[in-house]
A and B are shown apart, each in its own frame.
Chain A
Amino acid sequence: MSDSILTVNNLSMAFGGLIALDKINLHVAPNAITALIGPNGAGKTTLFNCLTGFYVPTAGSMTFKPAGTGEVDLVMLLGSGWQRQDMYSPRRCGRRLYYKLFGGTHQIVRRGITRTFQNTRLFMGMTAMENLLVAQHRMISPLPLSGLVRLPSYRRAERSAIELAYRYLDEFGLGGVANRLAKELPYGQQKKLEIIRALCTNPQFLCLDEPAAGLNSAETKELAAMIRNIKNKMGVTIFIIEHDMSLVMPISDQVIVLDSGVVIAMGTPAQVSKDPQVLEAYLGSDYDQKHAGDDA
């Protein structure tokens, strides 16, 4: 599939003897909302951690292809792993060396992939505005000390970063909290602020790890609208882990089901919710027999 923004090929992740992901293959379509669901311990968060450069996968590849640019090998960006084909192409070899020296998690976000965490990880001792500015730093300061002498280029970049932050805050109804410390905000606003912070990195691909956890039903509804809004207005591809089916099923275009480190189903919400393997994974293996009994 050449039209997918993310292609995961035979991805495996093992922690010692424990295989968390076992030769995963999946595609994520651009400008869509893709949900990743599965029982606890299925490997959903592990997949996110691999995608965002948190873990270096044991084997396999992840190719990211945003609109208008070439393909990027995400594992290479982390500065790890040599492959045999590196030896045959000087260009590949050079890039591999470059990322060995300057690679790291921050390179992934530079390509437009970012994420939020299940529990909020705001910088609690900083104001909401500062949280949003940190996310935009790679756009602000090529030279670390340019902020000290306040070069005109730095001042201009910082002003536009502040403007963008205010625009997002207003758009998602947090206009009044810019100068309050993150730890003083109520939980619902912290969750929102975290998503806004992720948006401030100017992502093409946003991974949300259980954004509805701990929210009440009104807040969940608001969140669903926010996520749709992000996709439609900003053209951001969204990859979401969520247990709350009432949030996931209506908004997603594609659903991927993971169980025990293996992809067991992939398709539209309607297809997936009828898939026998999915029902089995969620409801237990005796579901079919019971069902058979009901029919008889």
Chain B
Amino acid sequence: MRVAGILLVEDDPSVRTGLELALTRQGHSVTAYATGEEALDHVRARRPEIVILDVMLPGIDGVEVCRRIRRLDSLPIILLTARGDDLDMVVGLEAGADDYVVKPVEPRVLDARIRAVLRRLESASADRISFGDLVVDRGALKVTLANREIHLTPTELRLLLELVRHPGQVLNRRYLLRAVWDHNHVADSRLVDACVQRIRAKIEPVPAEPVFIHTVRGFGYRFSPP
């Protein structure tokens, strides 16, 4: 069992204690904070492996914390959202969160999500593929656009690699959810949509008129470089 350094941000003391207990018992090393400000300080001082972030926080909220972390770092972030607060979830995903869990969450589910997000990419095939300005290095796990390195979160990178692996082929959301997030059933496909949006924002010259990742309405996405 691999131990992850988890930063948990949750304002309710009971939930914080409960999750801390459960995650610690599953073998993770947990640091818990009640506010976003404290968490941001911690991220700057000592980078955790993953952040689990409650959306509803006093002071700066979880979405804003997520956004600020993203400015510094591409470390994985999982949002703790409340069922029924879809908007929070969508906004959080757009702000750069990798995944979300709905409260009340079972520790097993949270653990599975953490492991999925932390799953290391296998860099077995040491090849570089270039699509015009876009170069995807599957060995070094690096993406460059016009010789500038693009910083992708692990989830974004995994999704991009999955798409690149099947050029010209339409991949449906269910497949992508399984391949990238380990969600074992039709969970919320907005996870895929939000992640694609974030990748487009980073690699597409004009994100509104994508040339690399195309949406196939009602089905999914297709990577077909110009």
Q: Do A and B come from one complex?
A: no
B interface residues, Cβ below 8 angstroms from A: none
